[in-house]
Structure 1
Amino acid sequence: MSAHHDLKQPIYDPSVSFIQEDKIWELLNTNTAPSQAQVQAVLTKARLCEGLTLEDTAVLLQNQDCELEQQMFAIARDIKNTIYGNRIVLFAPLYVSNHCANACSYCGFNADNHELKRKTLQQDEIVKEVEVLEAMGHKRILAVYGEHPRNNVNAIVDSIATMYSVKHGDSGEIRRINVNCAPMDTSDFAILKTAAIGTYQCFQETYHRPTYETVHTKGKKKDYLYRLYAMHRAMEAGIDDVGIGALFGLYDHKFELLALLAHAKQLELDCGVGPHTISFPRIEPAHGSSLSEKPPFEVDDECFKRIVAITRLAVPYTGLIMSTRESAELRRELLSLGVSQISAGSKTSPGGYQASQDDQQDSEQFSLGDHRAMDDIIYELVTESDAIPSFCTGCYRKGRTGDHFMGLAKQQFIGKFCQPNALITFREYLNDYASEKTREAGNQLIERELDKLSPSRRRNISQCLTMTDEGKRDIYL
């Protein structure tokens, strides 16, 4: 089923779950103690950058050999560098509303949290938040909305139009807005598509249905299947970039990861293309949530690193997102294990980019682990990870989305489009927003990257960098 036609007829049964819990447990139980030969065979297969089956993934999840685990981490690094190069895409969340009609026991926004200060930004307040983000240098926003009737599709479309309209100074503008909001019917998703959004993002939270029903006690979110098929409906409406995820800590992480990958494979089977991104939030402390203080199935840092690395092996062409929930130190390690997108300078409360720290705590969704400023994060990416911070949004605006993007990614097209665009947009950031030390380090990195290119490619990209230095903005291939 192509993802490029509006309001396509579904070819699946939304009354039946495609998450086969018995099969997932059978895969895990059958591979309880895989041999070194079994694990090595899976790692050899992973090197081909063609992805893994659920059984392959189960073998890696059950591996207990430390040497093979280190091999797995090395392969994850190689795959990430092969597919994505040393680029790291940067974005920031913009929380528009924390009004929510659901009661989710792990979330600070839940409807039964009467201590939370509720707020939905007005259009002028959205403008001010976007101006702050643009002054940091952001070009890409994840707009986040609590699941509440006031955050209906028309209100969301209006707020997105406002975000796109904001221009700050000579170069501040938002070029891509991804959306995290409640699942919709196909007709509403078609309206959302008219807002020129990038990726539609929605997390199942937990794929284990008994747990799902336990932690969701009020609101439309109680409907497990309606949420499970949200991405199918979005693709039917023509939104061909979607992002999925699970909230690790609610249930057994091995089950959740296999179910998450089963979701990705089902989307590819039914809709012709899998998810554009996968996210890995872990439960973090949230005001008004006792469950978040001690997660039922806590995932420690070492386990979390295995989850990220295994996912990179299993779905090599999918973007992996890491938010500022995690500490700076852990995020640094995860960059080398397959993460390709990170948030920077984030706030998780409506109006948080202008509010005091005390006001943020009274209205935020969860606590952050990485509080560093945008410029500090970028400086570290350049000097410690030798990574190119990318602000590119060219693929979306050139129509390289959905199955078109995945087809190009499988041909390893990074060198043709993404690497040059990353360098050009990074120069734009350095010229307009960076501190002196970041500008110096960043320009040195750009020169090192240019030295790796053929003379003709270096010449073409250098011309774009010169135009950027002369004041031209938004250059992309």
Structure 2
Amino acid sequence: MAVVLSEKEKKWMEGVIKEEQITRYLENGRDFIDDEEIWEKLRKNQNPDKQRIREIIQKSLEIETLEPDETAALLNVKDPELWQEIFDAAAKIKKKVYDSRIVTFAPLYCSNLCVNNCVYCGFRRENTVIKRRRLTLEEVRREAEVLAGEIGHKRLIAVYGEHPTTDAKYIADTIRTIYEVKVKTKNGYGQIRRVNVNAAPMSIEELEMLRDVGIGTYQVFQETYHHETYKKLHPEGTIKSHYQWRLYCHHRALEAGVDDVALGVLFGLYDWRFEVMGLLYHARNLEKFFGIGPHTISFPRLEPAANTPFAQESKYKVSDEDFKKLIAVIRLSVPYTGMILTAREPAHLRDEILSMGIVTQTDASTKIGIGAYSDRYTEQEAERQQFLLGDTRSLDELIRELAKMGYITSFCTAGYRCGRTGKHIMTLLKTGREAVFCKLNAVLTFREWLDDFASEETKIAGEQVIQKEIEEIKERVPAEVFSKLMEYYRRIQNGERDLYF
């Protein structure tokens, strides 16, 4: 049964897309994704020799963005020994740029109302089994209080459908509301210090509104870069059917002064090698126009969703082995970027990938039903969710596993408040200098979290990691910096919060 749009929805949709904010970036009327060129590069770079692959790896280790032919060559590697060299290099790059820290966050779904009708999405307009809901600002506040005051998250990604009731003004209001939350904890207080946003493409004017209320990273996934597939999966008559409006939303965000933008693909919609190439082309085009690449890249895989047959039937599903390969190639292709592994993946695979030392961020204590944190439901409810999660472990459990692997969980948001964003952060990341700031602030924020939220078992594991990090810092920074770190560390142990470099 078709769901008919209201006149109000139709009128709102007519005013969303601003063609003049797209055409300024086109070259001869075309966008930067040339499907035939991508396939030609993949064909041309088949059977690369070992020496060439090793030269490409060395370039990545210098934190230089790869050329399309170089990424295509990596994607064509067949030799298991060469793949191991790629995995090893990916870990070295992550260590060089981000050190041994993992950043954690949680998604906060604010609405599942949507005017679009994407065939793979549980929230598509015509899916009548989904329970539709938009959180009020008071409900948003309650969700944030649970996340900040009971679980201990410091950063969120707020998620919204595309609908007139969740426009830029609503998003701005929810961001303000989340930042206002401050909850007493065992030894200090909990608050959200960074609100990233996953929302539909917007105009420059709307993005300026979000910039002014303190949006963190603006995340929009292209879903698939393949033009024909994109057209099939996003029916005509919807906003999302406009490929180029979506493709250039990050350009508009950077033009609007939103310094940090995030790319992503939903792997399983089309050939994974093509999609990795698309991500590289996207990153390179942002660098070309703005000198700034993506702050993060995400690589979620297609997952089952209520009343959504396509999710089970896609012929482009990505195997676990290919999934690990594509993550490593992204790391080498765009070596400075943060990389997000989501709770869509099962726990055993997440642990395996995290232990490889390639990714930089992951979510935990994840719930994606609208109002799910304050409702406190424990079992997944498909009719409330966009898709089904693979890993529902708590933040405490995940941090304990990370500590056993030797990683420190960082809750740092200092860089965004100190101006280490945009071009500034790109320079620091490419030279490896940001890793030093991050290491200092990871120790301070991890100390906060251990004292305020950790179970006894996790605290034991965390103490070993934090002492290891302090010893490493002592060897790497000037004495006066180390002295200041330890002063801040003691002050945090005595109950102060949010001290940072």
TM-score with structure 1 setting the length: 0.95
Q: Aligned equivalents of 2:368 and 2:315: distance in 1?
A: 23
The answer to whether the 8 A contact 1:312-1:337 is kept is no
Give the CA RMSD over aligned residues.
Answer: 1.7
Gapped regions of structure 2 (runs ≥ 5): 1-20
Q: Secondary structure at the match of 2:331?
A: helix
* Letter aligned with residue 244 of structure 1: L
Query: Which residue pairs with 1:142 in the alignment?
Result: 157
Among 454, 462, 478, the residue aligned to 1:434: 454
Post-superposition offset of 1:307: 0.5
1:378-397 superposed matches below 5 A: 378-383=399-404, 385-397=405-417
* Letter aligned with residue 469 of structure 1: Q
Q: Aligned equivalents of 1:148 and 1:438: distance in 2?
A: 41
1:200-239 superposed matches below 5 A: 200-217=218-235, 218-239=237-258
The answer to whether the 8 A contact 1:390-1:423 is kept is yes
Among 92, 99, 124, the residue aligned to 1:85: 99
Among 365, 376, 383, the residue aligned to 2:397: 376
Among 101, 105, 111, the residue aligned to 1:97: 111
Segment drifting more, 447-456 vs 234-243: 447-456
The answer to whether the 8 A contact 1:178-1:199 is kept is yes
The answer to whether the 8 A contact 2:26-2:32 is kept is no
Q: Aligned equivalents of 1:230 and 1:129: distance in 2?
A: 28
Q: Aligned equivalents of 2:137 and 2:244: distance in 1?
A: 34
Post-superposition offset of 1:124: 1.4
1:168-187 superposed matches below 5 A: 168-169=183-184, 170-187=188-205
The answer to whether the 8 A contact 2:380-2:388 is kept is no
1:289-300 superposed matches below 5 A: 289-300=308-319
Query: Which residue pairs with 2:182 in the alignment?
Result: 167
Post-superposition offset of 1:426: 0.3
Q: Secondary structure at the match of 1:104?
A: coil
Among 2, 5, 12, the residue aligned to 2:25: 12
Q: Aligned equivalents of 1:275 and 1:111: distance in 2?
A: 30
Query: Which residue pairs with 1:131 in the alignment?
Result: 145
* Letter aligned with residue 179 of structure 1: V
* Letter aligned with residue 316 of structure 2: F
Query: Which residue pairs with 2:429 in the alignment?
Result: 409
Q: Aligned equivalents of 1:378 and 1:358: distance in 2?
A: 22
Query: Which residue pairs with 1:352 in the alignment?
Result: 372
* Letter aligned with residue 220 of structure 1: I
Q: Secondary structure at the match of 1:188?
A: helix
The answer to whether the 8 A contact 1:252-1:297 is kept is yes
The answer to whether the 8 A contact 1:91-1:342 is kept is yes
Q: Aligned equivalents of 1:209 and 1:303: distance in 2?
A: 23
Among 135, 156, 170, the residue aligned to 1:121: 135
Q: Aligned equivalents of 1:167 and 1:46: distance in 2?
A: 42
* Letter aligned with residue 439 of structure 2: Q
CA distances 1:355-408 after superposition (whole Å, capped 9, x unpaired): 32467322101111111111000000001x200100000000011101110111
CA distances 1:171-206 after superposition (whole Å, capped 9, x unpaired): 111100000111111111111111101100000000
Q: Does the alignment pair 1:30 with 2:44? A: yes
Post-superposition offset of 1:476: 0.6
Query: Which residue pairs with 1:4 in the alignment?
Result: none
Among 453, 460, 463, the residue aligned to 2:487: 463
Query: Which residue pairs with 1:57 in the alignment?
Result: 71
Post-superposition offset of 1:333: 2.4
Segment drifting more, 326-335 vs 17-26: 326-335
Q: Secondary structure at the match of 1:143?
A: strand
Q: Does the alignment pair 1:152 with 2:167? A: yes
Segment drifting more, 402-411 vs 31-40: 31-40
Among 424, 428, 442, the residue aligned to 1:422: 442
Q: Aligned equivalents of 1:324 and 1:199: distance in 2?
A: 19
Q: Aligned equivalents of 2:350 and 2:48: distance in 1?
A: 30
Query: Which residue pairs with 1:309 in the alignment?
Result: 328
Q: Aligned equivalents of 1:471 and 1:373: distance in 2?
A: 25
CA distances 1:270-307 after superposition (whole Å, capped 9, x unpaired): 12211111000100001121111132301001000000
TM-score with structure 2 setting the length: 0.91
After TM superposition, the runs of 4+ consecutive aligned structure 1 residues lying more than 4 A away are 8-11
Among 263, 271, 284, the residue aligned to 2:290: 271
The answer to whether the 8 A contact 2:402-2:409 is kept is yes
* Letter aligned with residue 344 of structure 1: A
The answer to whether the 8 A contact 1:451-1:458 is kept is no
The answer to whether the 8 A contact 2:440-2:473 is kept is no
The answer to whether the 8 A contact 2:230-2:243 is kept is yes
Segment drifting more, 41-50 vs 213-222: 41-50
Q: Secondary structure at the match of 1:69?
A: helix
Segment drifting more, 8-17 vs 408-417: 8-17
Post-superposition offset of 1:31: 1.3
Q: Aligned equivalents of 2:344 and 2:462: distance in 1?
A: 26
Post-superposition offset of 1:46: 2.5
